[in-house]
Chain A
Amino acid sequence: MRKWGIVVGLCLCLSVAAWAGPALNTLVIGSTQEPSNLLPWEGAADTKENTMGLFNVGLTYFDSDGVLQPGLATEVPTEENGRLKLFRDADGKIVRQEVLWTIREDATWSDGRPITSDDAIFTFKVQNTPEILVTTRAFSNLVEEVRKVDSKSFWIFYKVPNLFYANVGGSIGLCRFYDIAPKHVWEPIYDAVMAAIAANPENTTEIIEGQFLGSPPSTGTGIVVGSGAFRFQEWQINQFIRFSRRGDFFIDPPGPAENYIQEITFRFIVSQPTLVSAILAGEIDASDDIGLAGMDPTILAAQLGDRGTVEVTPSGFIEKLNVNLFPECGAAADLLLGDKRTRQAIIQAIDRGDLAATVFPGATPSNSFLVGGDIGFNDALNPWPYNPEAASALLAEIGWSDVDGDGWLERVTDDGREIEFAMHWVATTADFRVRTGEILQEFFADVGIKLEVENLPGSVVFASEYISHGIDCSFRGLFEYAEAGGVGQAPADPLSNELWANDLLEDPVDAALENVPTPANSYAGVNITGWVNEEFDRLRAQALQEFDLVKRSAIVKQMQVIYNEELPTIPLYDRSETVTKAIGLVNYTKGTAAARTQFWNTWEWGWEQNGAIAVR
């Protein structure tokens, strides 16, 4: 009996940690999120992008210095190399745009077939098929046609000129990791789906869901083909996805490829504390840019000791308080949130440096709608330092005072009602936001504002019935969440999705406010604060038509001045991303926010112990 006990004990103690680390030249990456599928046309989450990036490469990619590099393409199209053609009208305004792409001769899919212009044209055809499930058609909305030149070259003819034709991300160019799909894999599926729809049009949704979204290449249950340095092996749902190195990848790392990672396991651990435990236990070599959000890098570094390092990089997202500016929302209007002095008081009542250091270590206070690294970022903006006295003075100037001496501000409205400055704040239930609510309560209490804190699940606050209904007082004061802040989507991006009200490119000035969700437009648009500023909209339209980066940046800087003065949203901080990596892991780095993720150069990842050379 005792002997058997010893045998079982020994068996159980056989370490499983061996599958992580340099011993087998493998890499285990941990994340708290899992992709929904491997379909090239559907899904928008960061984790999907990361997963696809592990076995695909785009036409171009941003490196860790933020420089655009050719990936599948032979070179990045520019006017100088003749691959970008811009056609201007008599006023110099760009009216038409054509881009010529050429795919590398040695570029092949993971099954050995060449990557050709037919693949690019097929991808565009699928994206434009009305019946097919495509998450966003932002790219096809810009493009008139993708036309073949030869087996490796094709033209993209734009119907709307777009500066970011060559950038990764944003679905505005055929350049995301996975925007070109293997035609030989997907065409038979596409043809079968279209035939089934033609025969049974009333069941289109079921056919698309079952035969397209649920197809073997999408669910990872069949042959999955990619263009990247690693080949898809298996997907154990809710557990991990495994990839192995391709011997025939067309971009070489420095030195022999055998010295670099040969197998990657992307592991999904939904609980952040469990992910950290797995990292500390040595089961995970590196985390992705999602898993450790909001964690203190200093504490992580101390816990890891000499076993690993912590990298903190800008995320490209700004945490901000969206202010309800709709006069139709009485609860918000009573608080005079529409008066910019109130918003200026709010920003000065918050010690944003202290807040960022406490709830999101590594983050830096923000004063703009663009993150610090964006080439259009204006660094001469009012920094709005913590100044509760100035905040109190502004509030007094508007008419707020502590009449009854209870510590809270009051005022009498025009119609004779006496109201207290009690302001609603809502955010998701993420730990750092729960703490933010508690801290903001204290900051606001110091200036006499009572903060009513509400933390609701993300699926509730981001539901269109909630987020788009500020006019109906769904949120009555401040709504905190993070917005993309330029870098990573596209440098000097002046679109500022959530801030513009009127698209002056298409409509006259007095047209409906199409980006402000109201009953008149069926609550369409993402300008959820209801802020309307004609000058801001005019500059935005001007910037969109400006292809000279320097001139465009100058316009965007003007827009930031208006934003910084008006504060339709209160910028709190530029969010950071924290990533851990085991000692010896080289070239696993993001650098600037432009790279979007660490997953842009898989072919260079390696263990120094195994001869991999650090080049990043």
Chain B
Amino acid sequence: MIVYLIRRLLQVIPTLLVISLILFGLLALKPGDPIDEMRRGNPGFTQEDYDRLREFYGLDKPWYVQYWRWLGRVLHGDFGISRQFGRPAASYIFRYRFPNTVLLSGLSLLLAFVISVPAGAISAIRQHTVFDYSVTVVNFIGVSIPIFWFGIMLIYVFAVRFRGFLPAGGLASPGVVGTWPVFVDRLRHLILPVIALSSLQLAQWTRFMRSSMLEVIKLDYIVTARAKGLSEPVILYRHALRNSILPLITLIGLNVPLLFSGAILTETVFNWPGMGRAIFDAILVNDFNVAMVSLMFISLLVLTFNLLADLAYALADPRVRYE
């Protein structure tokens, strides 16, 4: 097992190198560079300025030379400066963007889980009742409504129609000080984006949970439990629910790396500065250093979670051996 772990960890290094090469090459293929961004809308910008700045940033060199230079810096722990914000790219992502994404996506995940499990389970137990039909209708609406539209509607109702009830977007209000006011302020700013972001997962997971529960409650061991005279709540919540929730947990586990890449639409509509928007904006405005550090981080996460999943299989299933 340890040999296997070491072998897999060693494989991560060349894999990341290949990924970085591909990502850098793809970004280099994209037309434009940061100097083109500077030239836009600036009539005073001369050709001499353009040539000088391209040379300054080494952008006049072939992409593989630029890659080699970038790699040399990265190996020394320097991911370069965000040309969009003048700050170190890594610190910009991990200090200003990553925590916001974890907060928003984590809470959305939690909300969706806490509601979808009981809703799906009860819907299955009370199949073909008004509750079941209502949940199904709400689920279809949740799956069908585009998140950005739903987000705008939430803003319209809770920020515009009921003025000031909840903020229209952003991370926090300027000028709020003190632990409790800051906590309340952050909470207020989280309510609408969390509802919007969790709506799709909520609908999907509720349907998934309902199907899983319906399948489990028809299995033989449930019939046996009933025949043994166990009470209905014990059968449903101790035996059926625990078994039907396992596939959902697997599904959520697969979604974890996605959590870090953020939710561009929700972040944009609610002006939430997260990873998704950072990557999107960085690529759009040719902020290569930010794009590279973000994409490399997500690649590392995917590799790590793949490895963890494989190890978890071995730990959970005695038939799996990595020798």
B85 contacts A36, CB within 8 Å?
yes
- Jot down 17 A-B pairs with beta carbons below 8 A, ordered by A: A12-B187, A13-B165, A44-B45, A133-B53, A136-B49, A138-B46, A214-B86, A238-B171, A239-B170, A270-B271, A273-B269, A277-B156, A459-B284, A460-B32, A462-B37, A462-B39, A466-B31
Pairs of residues from A and B, 9 with the lowest C-beta to C-beta distance, nearest first: A463-B32, A238-B273, A37-B86, A463-B31, A44-B42, A17-B164, A209-B81, A171-B44, A15-B164
B49 contacts A206, CB within 8 Å?
no
A residues near B239, Cβ cutoff 8 Å: none
A137 contacts B155, CB within 8 Å?
no
A residues near B96, Cβ cutoff 8 Å: 237-238
B residues near A394, Cβ cutoff 8 Å: none
Q: Given the complex of chains A and B, what is the CA–CA distance between A406 and B208 in angstroms?
A: 54
Which residue of chain A has its CB nearest to the CB of B91?
A: A214
Check B235 for interface membership: any CB of A closer than 8 A. Answer: no
A269 contacts B42, CB within 8 Å?
no
Measured CB to CB, the closest approach of chain B to A234, in angstroms, equals 9
Which residue, of A44, A265, A524, has the highest number of chain B Cβ atoms within 10 A?
Answer: A44
The segment out of B15-23, B173-181, B217-225 that lies at the interface is B173-181
Which of B43, B49, B84, B175 is within 8 Å of A135, CB to CB?
A: B49
Which residue of chain A has its CB nearest to the CB of B52?
A: A137
B163 contacts A463, CB within 8 Å?
no
8 Å CB interface, A7-62 against B: 11-17, 19, 26, 28, 36-37, 39, 43-46
Interface size class of B (residues with CB under 8 A): 35 or more
Measured CB to CB, the closest approach of chain B to A495, in angstroms, equals 8
Measured CB to CB, the closest approach of chain A to B163, in angstroms, equals 5
Check B307 for interface membership: any CB of A closer than 8 A. Answer: no
Interface string of B35-73 (1 = CB under 8 A from A): 011111111111111111100111000000000000001
B residues near A280, Cβ cutoff 8 Å: 160
B43 contacts A489, CB within 8 Å?
yes
Known A-B contacts: A36-B84, A36-B85. Give 17 more (CB < 8 A). Answer: A12-B188, A39-B86, A135-B45, A136-B44, A137-B46, A138-B46, A172-B44, A206-B78, A214-B86, A270-B268, A270-B271, A271-B271, A281-B164, A463-B31, A463-B36, A466-B31, A525-B47
Q: Given the complex of chains A and B, what is the CA–CA distance between A263 and B174 in angstroms?
A: 11
Measured CB to CB, the closest approach of chain B to A531, in angstroms, equals 18
Interface string of A459-492 (1 = CB under 8 A from B): 1101111100000000000000000100001000
Check B167 for interface membership: any CB of A closer than 8 A. Answer: yes
Q: Given the complex of chains A and B, what is the CA–CA distance between A256 and B60 in angstroms?
A: 56
B residues near A17, Cβ cutoff 8 Å: 163-164
8 Å CB interface, B274-308 against A: 277, 281, 284-286
B residues near A205, Cβ cutoff 8 Å: 56-58
Q: Given the complex of chains A and B, what is the CA–CA distance between A553 and B118 in angstroms?
A: 77
Measured CB to CB, the closest approach of chain A to B155, in angstroms, equals 5
Q: Given the complex of chains A and B, what is the CA–CA distance between A464 and B277 in angstroms?
A: 25
Which of A12, A208, A462 is within 8 Å of B184, CB to CB?
A: A12
Check B159 for interface membership: any CB of A closer than 8 A. Answer: yes
Q: Given the complex of chains A and B, what is the CA–CA distance between A458 and B269 in angstroms?
A: 21
Measured CB to CB, the closest approach of chain B to A169, in angstroms, equals 8
Check B12 for interface membership: any CB of A closer than 8 A. Answer: no
Which of A26, A210, A281, A463 is within 8 Å of B33, CB to CB?
A: A463
